[in-house]
A and B are shown apart, each in its own frame.
Chain A
């Protein structure tokens, strides 16, 4: 099957991007956490100062998915900064629809992202993985990724909007 292309996402893709975001979230049992809308994706990804970049995997019409989609995979990323080593590429989401796995599409996406990282002089690519997601962890470790939480003890923290507002009120 291996007939697919990888390309930069365009404004017309936001509907498919949101669909795939929700599919990935469902897999992580976090579907109810997705509050992002197509409008957000459009404004935040295709305005003057995009908050994210996206590549999509597209198959020809005659290979469309069971429910009629041709956009069957995506990766969402942006650039971050480490004051010790400089620019980094942060991989926010990376997903290929189940029926299209095992054809090397995921590997090609990762290759394209790494090429982008190297081309834009990023020293590293960072991302997070759920510790129960053994197949993904293996996939990444096979490609030389290291688990910073385990190896260096880094823990990811978050403050949500309610508490952010509280913090600014106390000032």
Chain B
């Protein structure tokens, strides 16, 4: 299949926003989205971006059933491991269902890896839901391993009221 992988621009935020919603629906949590297209524009494309994006695009004659040429994306940012140093975190990776099985996901992931390596990173990290069998298989095939299963590390979160109380020193 004919497709290109390139850095996302401000103009892509509309399609990124659309695909974020599609991915959230796939993960069955679309009611949790609080970020708007405008937030993405500000947070990703200002002087100090909080994330970077790459887009998978197909030519006009291969566009999707509902007329889209931007058919996949990945959002990533740089993090730091106190053991290994610079790392890249892949926050989202998504390809529209009708364009799967053509190597687009792999190409997006390869691009994030290239960019990460170029920035001096030693590892790529991301999270996957334990019921998402097709994604788990895809990632294992790429040589990834499950840190949660093998080392017992759990992802924790402190938010909303709990975060506010913590900030005030309440217990």
**A and B together in one complex:** yes
- By a beta-carbon cutoff of 8 Å, the part of chain A in contact with chain B is 21, 24-25, 30, 33-36, 40, 44, 51-52, 76, 78-87, 90, 92-93, 107-108, 110-111, 114-115, 117-118, 123-132, 140, 142-150, 152-168, 170-171
* Structural contact, A118 and B167, CB atoms closer than 8 A: yes
Chain A positions within 8 Å of B40 at CB level: 83
> Measured between alpha carbons, how far is A143 from B131 in the docked complex, in Å?
29
* Structural contact, A35 and B143, CB atoms closer than 8 A: no
- By a beta-carbon cutoff of 8 Å, the part of chain B in contact with chain A is 16, 20, 24, 29, 32-35, 39-40, 43, 50-51, 75, 77-86, 89, 91-92, 106-107, 109-110, 113-114, 116-117, 121-131, 136, 139, 142-149, 151-169, 171
Chain A positions within 8 Å of B80 at CB level: 44, 51-52, 76, 78, 92
The smallest C-beta distance from B121 to any residue of chain A, in angstroms, reads 8
> Measured between alpha carbons, how far is A163 from B144 in the docked complex, in Å?
8
> Measured between alpha carbons, how far is A147 from B50 in the docked complex, in Å?
24
* Structural contact, A25 and B157, CB atoms closer than 8 A: no
* Structural contact, B110 and A159, CB atoms closer than 8 A: no
* A111 with B85, Cβ < 8 A, contacts A76-B80, A80-B79, A85-B32 known: no
Contact with B85, one of A40, A84, A87, A118 (Cβ below 8 angstroms) = A40
Known contacts A123-B159, A144-B161, A167-B106; 7 additional CB pairs below 8 A are A30-B83, A78-B79, A130-B154, A154-B127, A155-B127, A160-B123, A162-B143
* Structural contact, A157 and B155, CB atoms closer than 8 A: no
Residue of chain A at shortest CB distance from B73: A83
* Structural contact, B33 and A157, CB atoms closer than 8 A: no
Residue of chain A at shortest CB distance from B30: A84
Residue of chain A at shortest CB distance from B78: A51
> Measured between alpha carbons, how far is A90 from B50 in the docked complex, in Å?
12
The smallest C-beta distance from B123 to any residue of chain A, in angstroms, reads 5
Residue of chain B at shortest CB distance from A147: B154
* Structural contact, B171 and A143, CB atoms closer than 8 A: yes
> Measured between alpha carbons, how far is A98 from B75 in the docked complex, in Å?
39
* A159 with B124, Cβ < 8 A, contacts A36-B82, A76-B80, A118-B167 known: yes
Q: List 14 A-B contacts (CB under 8 A).
A: A35-B83, A86-B35, A108-B169, A111-B169, A115-B167, A142-B171, A148-B157, A149-B154, A152-B129, A155-B147, A155-B149, A158-B125, A163-B142, A167-B143
> Measured between alpha carbons, how far is A36 from B81 in the docked complex, in Å?
9
Chain B positions within 8 Å of A150 at CB level: 154
* Structural contact, B166 and A110, CB atoms closer than 8 A: yes
* A81 with B50, Cβ < 8 A, contacts A149-B148, A157-B128, A159-B143 known: yes
* A168 with B171, Cβ < 8 A, contacts A30-B83, A83-B20 known: no
> Measured between alpha carbons, how far is A125 from B29 in the docked complex, in Å?
20
Chain B positions within 8 Å of A129 at CB level: 153-154, 156
* A164 with B32, Cβ < 8 A, contacts A114-B167, A171-B107 known: no
* Structural contact, A157 and B127, CB atoms closer than 8 A: yes
* Structural contact, A164 and B51, CB atoms closer than 8 A: no
* Structural contact, A166 and B83, CB atoms closer than 8 A: no
